[in-house]
Amino acid sequence: MSGGHEHHHGHDHDRTFQPDDDAAGLSEHMALVAAVRELLIEQDIYSAEDERRAIERMDARSPATGARMVARAWVDPAYRERLLADGAAAARELGIEIGPTRLIVVADTAETKNVIVCTLCSCYPRWVLGLPPAWYKARAYRARVVVEPRAVLAEFGTTLPEGMAVRVHDSTADMRYMVLPRRPEGTGSWSEEALAGIVSRDCMIGVALPDPAPHPAPGAAESAA
Amino acid sequence: MSAPRFATGARVRVATRHPACHHRVPAYIKGHAGTVERLCGVFGNPETLAHGGDGLPAQPLYRVRFAARALWGTRAEDEADTVEVEVYEHWLEAAP
C-alpha cells in the first residue's frame, strides 16, 4: 500500500467499514471444527491440500450444469421424461457428476409454477446449481416463501399470469429439488446451447422465468460508447 | 423394516409432537392433513442419526402435498396454491 489514499470521494471510512466475519471470536462449534480438522490432518487421514482441493471443486460447481439439463429436456421429450422420473440418473446420462444426490425435478406447466426452499436450513442441489445465493439461506426468504410465494416472486420481478397455481417445495429431508421451467415462446429455432444460456440459477430455484429477450445491464450502452 | 404404509394419493395427518431431539418436520405442518404425492424411498431416521445413533429402523419418506389454505387459512394467497414437504412415516397417521 502506498498510503496515498485521499478522502475526496465523499464518505467516511470510520462509518463504512464492515465488521470482520471473525470479529466475534470462535464459538464452541467453530473451535470444535478447527480441532477435529487439525487432528485429521495430523493423523494423515487427509492433507490440508486435499481439503483445499475439495473446497475448490465444490466452489467450482455452477448453475450452467443444471441449465444444460433443462435445455436438453426442452429439445428432447424422451430426455424430459427421464429427467422427471429420476433427476440424478438423467444428470449422469449427460456425464454430470452428482454424487449421492437424489434429485427430484419438478416441471412448470401452464397451470402450476414451482418454487424451491428449505425452511429448516438451506438444502440446495449444489451438484447441479453450485453454491446457493445468500438470499436462499436467509431467514426472510425461508420463512416467507412458504406463506406468501406470490409476494416473494413479485419482489424478484416475477409476476404470474392469472389462474396459475404456485407449488412450493420444502426440501426438509433427503431429496433435493430443481425446477424445470417452461420453454419460452419464440425459441423454436434456438440451439440447445443458446437455450441453456437463458436458464439462470433463479429460474431453476423457481423465482424467475427464462426470458429470451436480451437484457443489457442498465448503463451498459453508455459505458460501451 | 416393514413395507411402506401409505400409497400415492392417501390422506395423511402429521403428528403434533415437539421432541427435543433434531427432527426434520417443520412446525407449520404439524397437526395438518395432506395427500401423499409419492414415496421417495426408505432412509435412516435423522432423529437418531443426528445424535450418534444408527438411524434404525429406517423410515419410508413421503412427499406430502398440503393446500396452502389448510396451512395458512385466509393468509394463503390463493385457493389453488400448495406446499409439498418431505415427511418420514413415523410422523404420519391415516386421515379421513
Give the rounded percent of residues in chain B with a pLDDT score beyond 90. Answer: 91
* Range in A6-20, A35-49, A144-158, A184-198 with the lowest mean pLDDT: A6-20
Q: Where are the alpha helices (DSSP H) in A95-217?
A: 126-129, 134-137, 139-145, 149-155, 192-196, 201-205
Contact in structure between A174 and B61 (CB atoms under 8 Å) = yes
Cell of A50: 486435499
What does the pLDDT read at residue A162?
86
User: In B7-58, which ranges are E strands?
Assistant: 11-14, 33-43
Lookup result for grid cell 406470490: A150
CATH class of B11-94: mainly beta
Does the structure show a pLDDT above 70 at A147?
A: yes
Which DSSP symbol is given to B61? E
Q: List pLDDT tens digits, range B12-48.
A: 999 999 999 999 999 999 999 999 999 999 999 999 9
Tell me how far apart the alpha carbons of residues A6 and A29 are, in angstroms, rounded to a whole number. 42
pLDDT band at A3 (very low <50, low <70, confident <90, very high): very low
- Please name the member of B40, B77, B85 whose beta carbon is closest to the beta carbon of A150: B77
What does the pLDDT read at residue A16?
63
With beta carbons under 8 A apart, name residues in chain A contacting B37. none
pLDDT band at A52 (very low <50, low <70, confident <90, very high): very high
Domains located in chain A, CATH noted: 26-59 (no CATH), 62-205 (3.90.330.10)
Task: Say whether residue A149 is in contact with chain B using an 8 A CB cutoff.
Answer: yes
Torsion angles phi and psi, residue A83, rounded to 5? -65, -40
In the annotation, is A203 catalytic?
A: no
**Inter-residue long-range contacts of A78-85, CB under 8 Å, 24+ positions, other chains counted:** A80/A107, A80/A180, A83/A180, A84/A180
Tell me how far apart the alpha carbons of residues B2 and A186 are, in angstroms, rounded to a whole number. 51
**Which residue of chain B comes nearest to A162, CA vs CA?**
B78
Task: Say whether residue A170 is in contact with chain B using an 8 A CB cutoff.
Answer: yes
Q: What ipTM does the predicted assembly reach?
A: 0.96
What does the pLDDT read at residue A39?
97
pLDDT band at A218 (very low <50, low <70, confident <90, very high): confident
- Please name the member of A120, A148, A150 whose beta carbon is closest to the beta carbon of B24: A120
Does the structure show a pLDDT above 90 at A6?
A: no
pLDDT band at A4 (very low <50, low <70, confident <90, very high): very low
With beta carbons under 8 A apart, name residues in chain A contacting B25. 172
Tell me how far apart the alpha carbons of residues A99 and A34 are, in angstroms, rounded to a whole number. 26
